[in-house]
Amino acid sequence: MPRWINRPEGSNWGDFGEHDQIGRMNLLTPERRRAAVAEVRDGIAFTLSLPLDIPTIPLAPSRRPPRLSAAADEEGDVYNRQDAGGEELTCDDKVTLHTQHSTQWDSLAHRGRAFDADGDGVAEFVYYNGFRAGEHVQGPEGCDHATRATALGIETLAMAGVQGRAVLVNLEAAFGNASRAVSLADLRHAMDAQGVEVRPGDFLLLYTGFDKLVLEREARGDGAWIASECCALDGTDEALLQWIVDSGIVAICSDNVAIEALHLIMSPQPPPIRLPIHDLCLFRQGIFLGELWYLKDLAAWLLERGRHAFLLTAPPLRLPGSVGSPLTPIATV
Ligand code: UVW
């Protein structure tokens, strides 16, 4: 039995194969990776991750900073443990890690919805390419609330070789860091002003200045609500959604919290699709989303030189069954 016979309007389900789990990442071909390497001119590398324990006060109630502790065996904690000779030491640790707390990839199992994929007249809960909640994305089960995405887990992205040409659009330079829902007209305005050329297979990075707000909040030590500050994409702009489809980009990554403006889910009467960019990208098109990246230094360097393209290397953890992953992306310019 095929998993689906109906696909959502505006989706590409099946275009990359019946069992595809990496969506638009399929557009990242060897030729495009070679072209990406040609963008490296100065050989300077930028680390695009926040420290993963930032924010110390979470931006989402279900997400917490990592908790490190010592690994243990029958003799107790393996931490500063002296070997038998007494001259050598060993440390092993373990971590409770909320995979989407800080700099992260969302996997394609991060957002799904009710849709009548099997055509029986009743909607069922499905993810990209018709993989089902409860069957392919399982959990929580058992006393430890174990979960597992047996399809669309983040390991599928890890195996895709996440390295290619990326372009950065500096929305902070174009519009400042006040709250703004960025339309296609806004995005085009910023891209034209900065000479940004987007090609199929590209990673689209949007710099908003939100990383600076996160770090300033850390320095102040408060939990001020900042999630709606700075630029974020306007998911209600149908022209913007169509541009994302037509552009051939494989991912959208930003220093902000959700890529898209959150006013929809915070309105008293949210529309049926509360996060339209997440719906388009993760559910319908298989376009990966990267959030809370640290882009400040790269954005400043590119702006100063009138550049926008570079080589991005950004694999997630190869953590089978996870629906998201922290990462330490590298931009090489
Ligand atoms: C939001 O916080 C709304 O986005 P995500 O779940 O993708 O982090």
CA-CA-CA-CA dihedral for 117, 118, 119, 120, to nearest 10: -130
Query: What is the Cα 291 distance to its own chain's centre?
Result: 5
Pair 331, 311: CB distance under 8 Å: yes
Q: Is 258 in the pocket of ligand 1 (CB under 6 A)?
A: yes
Q: Which residue's alpha carbon is nearest to atom 5 within ligand 1?
A: 258
Q: Is 291 in the pocket of ligand 1 (CB under 6 A)?
A: yes
Please say if the pLDDT value at position 211 is more than 90: yes
pLDDT tens by residue, 226-279? 999 999 999 999 999 999 999 999 999 999 999 999 987 888 888 889 999 999
Number of the ligand 1 atom closest to the C-alpha atom of 100: 8
Please say if the pLDDT value at position 9 is more than 90: yes
Q: How far is the CA of 257 from the centre of ligand 1 (A)?
A: 7
Number of the ligand 1 atom closest to the C-alpha atom of 291: 8
Instruction: Dig out the tokens for 230 from the structure.
Output: 């700075």
Report which of 185, 190, 188, 189 is spatially closest to residue 208, judged by C-alpha positions. Answer: 190
Please say if the pLDDT value at position 1 is more than 90: no
Q: What is the pLDDT of residue 142?
A: 87
- Percentage of the chain beyond pLDDT 70 is 100
pLDDT tens by residue, 166-204? 999 999 999 999 999 999 999 999 999 999 999 999 999
- Percentage of the chain beyond pLDDT 90 is 93
Say which amino acid occupies 238.
E
Q: Is 299 in the pocket of ligand 1 (CB under 6 A)?
A: no
- Element at 207 (helix H, strand E): strand 203-207
- What's the mean pLDDT when you consider all of the chain? 96
Q: Which residue's alpha carbon is nearest to atom 8 within ligand 1?
A: 258
Classify domain 23-59+100-108+156-332 at the CATH class level. Answer: alpha beta
Which of the listed residues 107, 225, 278 should we mutate to test ligand 1's pocket, taking the one with most ligand atoms within 8 A of CB?
Answer: 278
> Other CB atoms closer than 10 Å to residue 142's CB: what's the count?
8
| Residue bearing the bigger pLDDT, 329 or 143 | 329
Number of the ligand 1 atom closest to the C-alpha atom of 258: 4
SS3 128: helix
Q: Is 257 in the pocket of ligand 1 (CB under 6 A)?
A: yes
| Residue bearing the bigger pLDDT, 145 or 292 | 292
Please say if the pLDDT value at position 314 is more than 90: yes
Q: How confident is the model at residue 331 (pLDDT cuts 50, 70, 90)?
A: very high
Q: What is the pLDDT of residue 264?
A: 78
Averaged over 140-145, what is the pLDDT?
88
pTM of structure: 0.97
CA distance 70 to 93: 4
Q: What is the pLDDT of residue 143?
A: 87
Report which of 313, 243, 327, 238 is spatially closest to residue 45, judged by C-alpha positions. Answer: 313
In the chain, what are the domain boundaries? 23-59+100-108+156-332, 67-96
- For 40-102, the DSSP string reads --S--EEE----TT--SS-SSTT----EEEE-EETTEE-SSEEPTTSS-EE--EEEE--TTSS
Number of the ligand 1 atom closest to the C-alpha atom of 59: 2
Report which of 2, 12, 16, 21 is spatially closest to residue 119, judged by C-alpha positions. Answer: 2
Averaged over 6-23, what is the pLDDT?
98
Q: Is 106 in the pocket of ligand 1 (CB under 6 A)?
A: yes
- Ramachandran angles phi, psi of 173, nearest 5°: -65, -35
CA distance 302 to 172: 13
Q: How confident is the model at residue 216 (pLDDT cuts 50, 70, 90)?
A: very high
Q: What is the pLDDT of residue 176?
A: 98
Number of the ligand 1 atom closest to the C-alpha atom of 60: 2
